[in-house]
Amino acid sequence: MNRLIIEPSFKTPAIDFDGETGILSIRGRVFPENPFQYFSPLTAWLTDYSSLPSKETILIFSLSYFNSTANEYLFRCAKMIESLVSQGHNGKIVWEFESDDDDMKQIGEDFKELLKIKFDLKAIN
């Protein structure tokens, strides 16, 4: 499966979805001008990946900021990984947040509560 790499910009995160290793990461800030247009390649890639996933899938969120519109799309990505797990595949979500960022930690805790998947909250410096 092709690797999806999208370079970051001021308003969009770095994307590195590696279908061979199963490590999928979204890093940075997320407030694109057109969220539907920005996230369409990600959800399309995840749909393709779901047909033949890696032995284990790890979705890593390492975000410093995202707006409410982006929240919907980020959660949709997480739900797609949850769906893989519900079908019997191995997978988890890692939510990284700055150790002093209580807001991002809380959002991670909210995601964890809403998803039925192994979910690691990880404070980083």
Taking the C-alpha atoms of residue 54 and residue 36, their distance in angstroms, rounded to an integer, is 26
Residue 64 in contact with residue 100, Cβ under 8 Å? no
Overall average pLDDT of the 93-116 stretch: 97
Taking the C-alpha atoms of residue 120 and residue 102, their distance in angstroms, rounded to an integer, is 16
Summarised one tens digit per residue, pLDDT across range 23-52 is 999 999 999 999 999 999 999 999 999 999
Number of domains in the chain: 1
Q: Where are the beta strands (DSSP E) in 1-125?
A: 4-6, 14-18, 23-30, 56-66, 90-98, 118-124
Taking the C-alpha atoms of residue 104 and residue 62, their distance in angstroms, rounded to an integer, is 10
- Report pTM: 0.96
Taking the C-alpha atoms of residue 111 and residue 108, their distance in angstroms, rounded to an integer, is 5
Q: Which residues are CB-contacts of 119 (< 8 A; sequence separation ≥ 6)?
A: 92, 93, 94, 95, 111, 112
Residue 125 pLDDT exceeds 90: no
Q: What is the CATH number of the domain that holds 10?
A: 3.30.750.24
For the beta sheet containing 118-124, the strands, ordered from the edge strand earlier in sequence to the opposite edge, are 4-6, 14-18, 23-30, 56-66, 90-98, 118-124
Please identify which residue in the block is written with the tokens 């990461």.
25
The domain of 91 spans: 4-124
Summarised one tens digit per residue, pLDDT across range 95-104 is 999 999 999 9
Summarised one tens digit per residue, pLDDT across range 39-86 is 999 999 999 999 999 999 999 999 999 999 999 999 999 999 999 999
